[in-house]
Amino acid sequence: MPLNPTLKEWRGQRVWLIGASSGIGRALAQHLHAMGAHVIVSARQQAALDDFVSNHPGSTALPMDVTDPEAVHRTAMAVMDQGPLDLLCYCAGHYQPMRATDLDLSALVLHHEVNTVGALRVLAAILPHMLTRGSGHISLVSSVAGYRGLPLSLAYGPTKAALSNLAEALYLDLHAQGLGVSLINPGFVDTPLTAQNAFHMPALITPDEAARAIVRGWSAGDFEIHFPRRFTWWMKLLRLMPYRMYFPLIQRITGR
């Protein structure tokens, strides 16, 4: 039985994708536009958004920095003033490999500002409108890096764990109100963020493949949408391990 209302008919639906200048967000915007949705794209990079709109007639570009509270509120009000919002997908993300032996506080805080606090700012702005309407869907892009602590993930992993917990709490609070909530947990996707990784990334997929998996998950009414499953199921198994087994195994696998 689906945990969410199934999203199968996109024609005429208003969707707001935050973090859509590249990677998964842009690929999602392309797919939803092709299926007839009215796509609103936001990110910091004005040029990338303008390029998307010029190639996808009928879409709307609203540049926004999620670390700027006033900009988030102003942009959210502009979105809601134009009509009801059917889907919000928060794809904005920041990633810098980091270990505790080379801790950078300003970088740690930036990860939280972009990955977690930015999502809270958007939710605070749009939730009252969705609740009044009694419909709509909120989707947060987290990561399997949020399942458990991993090497080089000191800055990134905790923010994704927070997003996962946030999505679960939102579902429990909003399901009875008629709203859908989904959590997206990708494995390795070939994006500008993962291009920073100097290690082998198992089961690496393209943003287009990721977008197709997400759309399938929305169509099925899933709460958690994780992919590619040949990798993510192993990560789920690791999450069940007791620490005395997990820590030595991860150190042996990663060599760190």
Where do the domains of the chain lie? 14-254
Region of 165 please: left (phi>0), alpha (psi -120 to 50) or beta.
Answer: alpha
Mean pLDDT over each residue of the chain, to the nearest integer: 95
- The crossing angle, in degrees rounded to 10, of helices 23-34 and 46-55 is 20
The reported pLDDT for the residue numbered 196 is: 83
In this predicted model, which residue has the larger pLDDT, 138 or 256? 138
Catalytic residue among 90, 95, 147, 156: 156
pTM of the model as a whole: 0.95
Q: Are 141 and 94 in contact (CB under 8 A)?
A: no
CATH topology assigned to domain 14-254:
Rossmann fold (3.40.50)
Q: Mean of the pLDDT values across residues 122-147? A: 97
**pLDDT over 80 at 256, yes or no:** no
Residue 156 is a catalytic residue: yes
Under the banding of pLDDT at 50, 70 and 90, the label for residue 254 is confident
Q: Mean pLDDT throughout 192-214?
A: 89
Q: Determine what percent of the chain is predicted with pLDDT higher than 90.
A: 92
